[in-house]
Structure 1
Amino acid sequence: MAPPESTFVDTVEGISTLLSSVPRGPVPGPSIFIDLEGVNLCRDGSISILQLFISTIPHIYIIDIHTLGNLAFTTPSATDESVTLKSILEDPGVPVVFYDIRSDNDALYHHFNIQISNVVDLQLYELATRSGPGFRNNRRYLNGLSRAILENANLSLAEASRMDRVKQIGVGLFAPEKGGSYEVFNRRPLPAELLEYCVQDVQYLPVLLRFFSQRLERMDKRWMEMIRVETEARIALCRNAIFPKGRQNALAPVSFQRFVR
């Protein structure tokens, strides 16, 4: 699966142009997929990059939040002045897909007063549809994005190898335990290796959505209600006095662990 075309956006003109590409009418399912990169990504840190994948085009926009700041969210579309990135994220009629909304949402809410209202959290989809021997015990911990892709996106050996290479190079640049620093996401121009890493983090999200959605259609309908409730609980974390961090965030919701299909 070749990566979609991508564009690095660091001007208000670029924001205005890309917003004109966002579908505004009825579309067959979610078409906006988002990920964020930053330094200590939550209310206590900062957002450096927002990856926006519009799957109907398809095109990935790497938006430079470090440079543009609030202008990234308040600049209007070239074709409709009422449309901004903020208005899209807050539109209850526009589903926006993330893989683990928690830190991203906390950062967006506290730094840019964005209140996302319609979230599809693929981490919860992956957890709900996970199967295999001892599936109840298998739902004790959440899976990260890379593992979800490798186990569910039906990659070829070449694609899996490339994905691992891109990930390892990127992690080596920003992970402190690997000798890197998250501040590298604020370096301009952004290193080509990190651009590739940012693209990869969103390019497989539509594939995961299709795969998990097909599985959920065949499952007990109570799973979708549990996903909805837990997604709302995750969004509400941004209004707590303290944002939870650490190993506790790797634990699956208790309701998911206990539910028997």
Structure 2
Amino acid sequence: MADEMENSTPAEESLLEKIADKIHDHDSSSSSDSDNEKMESPSAVKEKIYRLFGREKPVHKVFGGGKPADVLLWRDKKLSAAVLGTTTAVWVLFELVEYHLLSFVCHISILTLAVLFLWSNAHSFINKSPPQIPEIHVAEEPFLLIASAIRNEVNHAFTVLRNIALGKDLKKLLKVVAGLWVISIVGSWCHLLTLIYICVVVLHTVPVLYEKNEDKVDPMAEKAFIELKKQYSVLDEMVLSKIPIRPLKPKVV
């Protein structure tokens, strides 16, 4: 065998080298292609996945990622149950029992002040320490932050309403009218407190259920949004595009 290898011609040796080089190139290219497919496949799959309302963050991050998100998504079950239970108790007290808010506040204040007054004067007779009542001072900063946030939202709402009133955005007009119409219908069904309670219950149930079943909900939502876009395009072509909108005249200074 060794004699045969030594007796092989240079042409045969060059042919064998070319075949070996082709096999090596094919293996390296196939391995690089497979590596590229492995690197690109997660991003390609990620791009194809549709998320509700076009979100890119997890549900927990959408709600802020802090303590409120933990409460709404039942990450802190004790606190979530306490919030929902307290809200239910308040709704039952004021809606079903028909207890008035002002009377409730006054009665609770009377009971608390009476208990503390008696405890402060009778602590020597019952051999207990007097109640430690801290001095309460309301900080200014939280109220300023809340007022600033409300002011920004109100200004944004006024800006949107002004643009709609000036005839700049027909789509926003339809959205606002539809939203107000839905709110008016829901408001005719129940009182404000019941509506707030329904919103609290929805916020404590729908997000956590969606988070657990988002892989099933997102494809269905994608089909629904595609169908809505088709219907809106038909409406836009047949009705909305034919509505004449005058351009705004520049103000004369």
TM-score by length of 1: 0.22
Select the structure that is richer in helix. 2
